[in-house]
Amino acid sequence: MKKKLLINIANGLLMARWKQTLVAAVGVTFSITMFIALLSFMSGMNDLLDGLIINRVPHIRIYNDIKPNAHQPITLDRNYKTAHHFISSIKSDESRQSIYNSAAIMQAIKNDKRVLGFSQKLTAQVFFNDGNIDITGSMSGVNPVEEGSLFHFDDYITSGKSQDLTKINNSVILGKGLAEKLLTNIGDVIQITTSKGERFQLKVVGIYQSGLRDIDNVQSFASVSTVQKILSKPSNYITDIQVKLKDITQAPAMAKEYEQLFQTDAEDIQTANSQFETGSSIRTLISYSVGITLLIVAGFGIYNILNMMIFEKMDSIAILKATGFSGRDVQNIFMYIAISIGVFGGLCGLLLGFGLSSIIDQIPFNTAALPTIKTFPINYNPKFYLIGMVFSFFTTYFAGWFPARKASKIDPVIIIRGK
């Protein structure tokens, strides 16, 4: 009953000044709209850019690193077990690059329930011959089916089919930059030279575009068996096993576990690509701070309008107090006004924000770097809408709190005697 009366009075004051109220609400609406649109767009863009890396990078990469042997002869000598060893001119080991006992490792990974899938890979350094020009490049031997399902390989094949790698013998998919340099297209035959001097003829079956120019200029793909043949290695020669997990956050722990278990090197995605997380978090931070700044500006708008309203309604406040409304009642009346502006403006802002993001979602966005994207990316995460609502509530609450408190402190005697 009491609450109803205060809301009733607040409503009366609001409606008497509905134009001012509307301006204040529009301020909130505008800032929430921009907040939602900005965050949806920024976060969509972030996901896209992160996806560029995360989609095609394995969560754990198992390989043999080139590094000095941890067990040098002196460490095996029992006499010097407790001593500190100084070894100079140490050299990296000439150990094999291939993963030892790769078939058994692959079987073990296959049986691990935390693993979504894996693909084998090996890399060869080759020269692409074009007349008298040799272009240095790298050739990865991949299994196109697994590569496609786990690492979105097909998304980056701009022409041709990845499956042709296994169907057609001695076939290759070239990076876009590389193909342009070699002046080749699908169906052409190119010649390569291996680091050991052997020559091979390969048929181009596809063009690959990652969006990262440096990669597109040197990268090419062939089937695993083709690359093994180029390197003159047996069919169990694998240099990398790329593992994709069900839960990416487990990658660092599992990488350590695999290192122990398989006696190889294992690198997790977080360690390999830490700079991307930094980039995303900074972009997110910037969009949040812009959004929150907008809301604070809207808060000042509400503060001003309430202050003005209190100034105009001094007489009303004085008589309410004289006839038995306490300071708290008066404060509540003005808080109701502030919060109803905030909630109304905020809800409109959420709707308009959704509308604006949908519009942005329709704007064409074609860039050579991102072959699969046709329009601006938008992330419709409900989290942004929730944050927007909570924030609009709190900014209006605080913007209203100070003027409402001022109103509650008005001394009716001064107002009434002043007349």
Partner 1 sequence: MSNTILEAKNINKYFNDPIRIQVLSDINFSVNKGEFVSLTGKSGCGKSTLLYVLSTMDTDYEGQLLIDQEEMPKRNEPFLAKIRNEKIGFVFQFHYLLNEFNVLKNVMLPGLKQNKYSEEEVEFRAIEKLKILGIEHLALKQANHVSGGEKQRVAIARALINDPHIIMGDEPTGNLDKKNSDLVFDIFKRLADEFNQTLLIVTHDPSFAARTHRIIQMEDGKIIHS
Closest distance to partner 1 from the beta carbon of 38 (Å): 38
Of 173 and 318, which has the nearer Cβ to partner 1? Answer: 318
Angle, nearest 10°, between helix axes 18-54 and 2-16? 100
Stated as kind and residue range, the H or E segment containing 332 is helix 327-362
The interface with partner 1 within residues 14-43 (CB under 8 A) comprises 15-16
Closest distance to partner 1 from the beta carbon of 418 (Å): 10
C-alpha distances in angstroms, 381 versus 303, 334, 344, 364, 386?
A: 31, 34, 22, 21, 9
Binds partner 1 by CB under 8 A, chosen from 5, 133, 261, 368: 5
Of 5 and 104, which has the nearer Cβ to partner 1? Answer: 5
Binds partner 1 by CB under 8 A, chosen from 12, 133, 134, 213: 12
The interface with partner 1 within residues 395-414 (CB under 8 A) comprises 411-413
Q: Indicate the residue type of 95.
A: S
Select from 152, 209, 204, 206 the least CA-distant residue to 176: 209
417 binds partner 1 (CB under 8 A): yes
DSSP-assigned beta bridge partners for residue 245 = 115
419 binds partner 1 (CB under 8 A): yes
157 binds partner 1 (CB under 8 A): no
Closest distance to partner 1 from the beta carbon of 396 (Å): 21
Whether 227 and 25 have beta carbons less than 8 Å apart is answered as no
Closest distance to partner 1 from the beta carbon of 387 (Å): 35
Whether 142 and 119 have beta carbons less than 8 Å apart is answered as yes
Tokens coding 105: 């490792």
Tokens coding 369: 């770097």
308 binds partner 1 (CB under 8 A): no
Give CA–CA dist 399/386, Å, rounded: 20
Of 215 and 410, which has the nearer Cβ to partner 1? Answer: 410
The interface with partner 1 within residues 312-351 (CB under 8 A) comprises 315-316, 318-329
Tokens coding 13: 């004051």
Tokens coding 174: 């070239």
Of 24 and 318, which has the nearer Cβ to partner 1? Answer: 318
Q: Which residues bind partner 1 (CB under 8 A)?
A: 1-2, 5, 9, 12-13, 15-16, 315-316, 318-329, 411-413, 416-417, 419
